[in-house]
Amino acid sequence: MTTTRFAPSPTGYIHVGNLRTALMNYLIARKAGGTFILRIDDTDAERSKEEYVDGLKRDLEWLGLHWDRVERQS
């Protein structure tokens, strides 16, 4: 089974580069009948903020990119 992930660092709002990566990984997973994981890579504790995580999730949902599960890398 194919598994892809999108692992942004929540240190700011999503940008076009993030969206391109998320879209490609989402499409690959869906085409292969696999799993798309949203992995929040919040290892930069000083700059990571929960408001950016919330914004990221809202933006991905608005675009129709639905993940199968969320993981955190802290």
Task: Report all structural domains of the chain as residue ranges with CATH numbers, in order of start.
Answer: 3-73 (3.40.50.620)
Residues 6+ apart with CB under 8 A from 5: 25, 36, 37, 38, 39, 71
Predicted confidence band of residue 74 (pLDDT cuts 50, 70, 90): confident
* Residue 13 structure tokens: 């709002």
**pLDDT per position as a tens digit, 26-70:** 999 999 999 999 999 988 888 999 999 999 999 999 999 999 999
pLDDT at 6: 97
Its pTM stands at 0.90
Q: Are 44 and 72 in contact (CB under 8 A)?
A: no
pLDDT at 12: 94
pLDDT at 39: 97
pLDDT at 54: 97
